[in-house]
């Protein structure tokens, strides 16, 4: 039987031998683990860089196109292919995530991505993470960044790869050490006290080392807190002790004179809370209020009496065992940021006021321009019906063409203003697309014939009765066909209309192309064609005119119709402008078109117009149509005339002195009662979206926008004179 002394000697010597063997084994094992860990990290970094370089071109192209769905699919595919990939995201120029493997983080600010390096950059971050970052695209202007986050190799994995064979050797050494300890216990009879002293000394050294580590960490945390611009306070709210406060807190709250006492903890939490609460707007509690929710995190803003605004963050500080040792308070002065937000809001409001003023000014200018244009175009139409020689008729044609260009420019400016204000609404009616295309080509036929161009329409077979805004669709086609004729010197222009597959029942998907054999447009200039006031040739020596508004208006109108517009072109080959639209089918079968009639109308009308020139034009246009007319200069006179005698119809200007057309219409309707209803037709230069509805709501029966030509006037009067 082994004596107690021999047993103690055995275990003591065995423990010593085991420790020595463990130390001898641990050093090379640790070196081997570190070498293996470095090798694994290098291999992981190279693989991450290769994956990043391979992914960046495609992701850059998708980011340039704004295709966030494709980016999301690309990141999901990367995560499936790379088992160690924890997260991946693509950020835009402002650092916000455009795509992320965690969809909830799309739109968040990703600070790790900026500034993005032009080539793949791989670094290891805290928590065994490997971050790989690259700018998108790799060349040229940086649109954003791509970052991949991998699980980096750790010491545990390296140990599993390296230690199996040293472990076997260690077991053998332990067995040998155990046998050696038995031999030592048998041979040696040293006092047990020496072993106990050595053990106590080892424990004392370990405690000293642990104390030094704790003090160095505490010093590091204090240095970080003092260097931070955030005002920091850590307090134990149960005992009222201040555990830590930095210099920024003393400066923010005017406690510089007591900074030394704060640092030593000689000022309690109650005194600090009272001092800070006195500076808060309204006298609210600053610290106790934030702590009232127990363990929760508080993030809000606090207004001070001196005008400053602080961002406050309060969070609990745990003891690592589920308990709470205090609460951390952080304060940031955001006064400048708040003032910037107020200034930005004021600037935005000023811009809105300026935009409204611009819209009102352009609408007024449109009205003022349309009023004399009515006299010009009406007089030209009247002259066109009189006997003229060939030279005079050619001069008249030039004047009418110039007036039409002027009117088209006024309409484009008004359309841009209305679209910018967001007040333009489509006015759907049943129409025949085939007839509309024929009308478009008829309008462009003279210009094409003068240049010797062919003008063709290719319409897919089938019914083309649709329900949509025919006027706006014709406006888009007029501009595209007119542009094609304008910029083509030889060859021809084709208008092609086809149905697009995949449209829902009762809806027609349109694919419309206008192709020409003109000079073509360089690729560098195609992207800006649809911007306002932009032309492919903007130099002062360009041969063709125009303000560069037509394509911008066309794009906005096509967007309202639920479609897209674009161009494919090459210099010397020609251009093809295309657009799509989704239009419902006509609600009912369209009647067969009636042949145009030139038979004279019959009727006695009242013309309410304050402009003397437009009075003459209106009367002579009516006389040409076969009607007679009385003329008054304002709404009051129109009301009195309508009460004196009965008229077959009234042409009512809306903007007149003394009484405008709206008030005059209301007065005439009140005087008529329910017995009869005289057709009242608005003939006004107000052509802003909504003016037609305003006229109809005022009691008028129809609407004509100035300048009015004889054909439009005949069509309206034919509807309201009962075929006379």
Exposure of 7 in the CB half-sphere (CA atoms within 13 A):
4
Q: Which residues of the chain have pLDDT under 50?
A: 1-2, 289-293, 536, 538-547
Instruction: Tell the residue number behind the tokens 């911008």, with chain if given.
Output: 552
ω into 137 cis (within 30 of 0):
yes
Q: Looking at residue 93, what DSSP letter applies? A: T
* pLDDT at site 541: 36
Positive or negative: CA dihedral 709, 715, 719, 724? positive
- Neighbour-count burial of 237, counting CB atoms closer than 10 A to its CB (0-12 exposed, 13-18 middle, 19+ buried): middle
* pLDDT at site 674: 74
Closest CA to 178 of 5, 19, 29, 2: 19
Q: Are 151 and 133 in contact (CB under 8 A)?
A: no
What does the angle CA 668 – CA 672 – CA 674 come to, to the nearest 5 degrees? 135
0.75 exceeded by the pTM? Answer: no
Q: What contacts 575, CB < 8 A, 6 or more positions away? A: 484, 487, 515, 516, 518, 520, 521, 567, 568, 569
CA dihedral 494, 497, 498, 503 (to 10 degrees): 150
- Between the CA of residue 656 and those of 88, 261, 609, 663, what are the distances in Å? 67, 82, 7, 10
**Bridge-based pairing state of the strands 604-608 and 649-652:** parallel
- Between the CA of residue 124 and those of 34, 155, 298, what are the distances in Å? 15, 14, 32
Q: Are 316 and 327 in contact (CB under 8 A)?
A: yes
DSSP 434-454: HHHHHHHHHHHHHHHHHTT-E
Q: Are 332 and 310 in contact (CB under 8 A)?
A: yes
């Amino acid at each position: 039987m082994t004596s107690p002394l021999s047993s103690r000697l055995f275990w003591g010597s065995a423990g010593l031998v085991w420790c020595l063997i463990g130390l001898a084994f641990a050093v090379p094992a640790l070196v081997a683990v570190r070498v293996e860990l470095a090798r694994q990290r290098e291999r992981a970094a190279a693989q991450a860089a290769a994956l990043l370089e391979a992914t960046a071109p495609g992701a850059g192209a998708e980011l340039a196109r704004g295709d966030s769905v494709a980016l999301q699919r690309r990141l999901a595919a990367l995560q499936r292919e790379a088992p160690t990939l924890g997260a991946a995201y693509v950020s835009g120029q402002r650092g916000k995530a455009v795509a992320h493997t965690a969809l909830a983080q799309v739109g968040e600010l990703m600070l790790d991505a900026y500034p993005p390096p032009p080539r793949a950059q791989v670094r290891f971050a805290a928590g065994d993470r490997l971050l790989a970052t690259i700018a998108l695209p790799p060349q040229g202007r940086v649109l954003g960044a791509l970052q991949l986050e991998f699980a980096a190799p750790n010491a545990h994995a390296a140990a599993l790869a390296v230690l199996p064979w040293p472990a076997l050797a260690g077991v053998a050494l332990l067995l040998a050490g155990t046998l050696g300890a038995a031999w030592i216990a048998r041979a040696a009879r040293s006092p047990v006290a020496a072993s106990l002293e050595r053990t106590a000394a080892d424990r004392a050294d370990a405690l000293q080392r642990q104390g030094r580590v704790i003090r160095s960490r505490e010093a590091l945390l204090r240095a970080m807190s003092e260097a931070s611009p955030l005002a920091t306070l850590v307090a134990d709210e149960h005992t009222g002790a201040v555990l830590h406060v930095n210099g920024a807190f003393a400066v923010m709250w005017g406690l510089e004179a007591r900074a030394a006492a704060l640092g030593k903890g000689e000022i309690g939490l109650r005194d600090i809370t009272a001092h800070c609460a006195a500076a808060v707007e309204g006298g609210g509690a600053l610290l106790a209020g934030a702590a009232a929710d127990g363990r929760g995190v508080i993030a809000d803003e606090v207004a001070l009496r001196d005008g400053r605004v602080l961002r406050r963050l309060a969070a609990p500080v745990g003891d690592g065992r589920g308990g709470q040792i205090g609460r951390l308070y952080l304060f940031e002065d955001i006064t400048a940021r708040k003032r910037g937000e107020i200034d930005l809001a004021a600037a935005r409001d000023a811009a809105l006021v300026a935009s409204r003023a611009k819209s009102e000014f352009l609408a007024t200018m449109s009205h003022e321009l349309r009023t004399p244009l009515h006299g010009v175009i009406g007089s030209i139409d009247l002259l066109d019906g009189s006997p003229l020689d060939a030279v005079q008729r050619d001069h008249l044609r030039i004047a009418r063409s110039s007036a039409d260009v002027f009117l088209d420019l006024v309409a484009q400016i008004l359309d841009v203003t209305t679209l910018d204000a967001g007040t333009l609404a489509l006015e759907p009616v049943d129409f025949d697309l085939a007839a509309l295309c024929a009308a478009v080509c008829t309008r462009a036929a003279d210009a094409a014939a003068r240049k010797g161009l062919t003008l063709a329409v290719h319409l897919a077979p089938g019914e083309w009765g649709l329900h949509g805004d025919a006027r706006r669709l014709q406006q888009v086609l007029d501009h595209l066909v007119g542009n094609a004729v304008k910029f083509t010197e030889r060859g021809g222009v084709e208008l092609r209309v086809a149905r697009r597959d995949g449209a829902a029942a009762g809806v027609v998907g349109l694919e419309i192309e206008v192709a020409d054999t003109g000079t073509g447009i360089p690729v560098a200039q195609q992207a800006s064609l649809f911007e306002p006031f932009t032309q492919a040739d903007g130099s002062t020596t360009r041969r063709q005119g125009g303000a560069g508004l037509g394509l911008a208006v066309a794009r906005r109108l096509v967007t309202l119709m639920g479609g897209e517009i674009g161009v494919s072109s090459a210099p010397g080959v020609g251009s093809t402008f295309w657009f799509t639209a989704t239009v419902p089918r006509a609600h009912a079968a369209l009647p067969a078109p009636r042949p145009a009639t030139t038979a004279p109308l019959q009727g006695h009308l009242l013309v309410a117009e304050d402009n003397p020139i437009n009075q003459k034009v209106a009367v002579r246009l009516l006389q040409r149509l076969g009607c007679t007319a009385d003329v008054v200069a304002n709404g009051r006179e129109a009301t009195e005339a309508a009460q004196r005698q009965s008229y077959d119809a009234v042409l009512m200007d809306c903007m007149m002195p003394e009484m405008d057309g709206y008030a005059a219409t209301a007065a005439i309707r009140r005087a008529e009662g329910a017995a009869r209803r005289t057709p009242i037709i608005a003939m006004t230069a107000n052509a802003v979206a909504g003016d037609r509805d305003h006229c109809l709501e005022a009691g008028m029966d129809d609407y004509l926008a100035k300048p009015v030509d004889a054909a439009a006037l005949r069509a309206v009067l034919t509807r309201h004179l009962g075929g006379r």
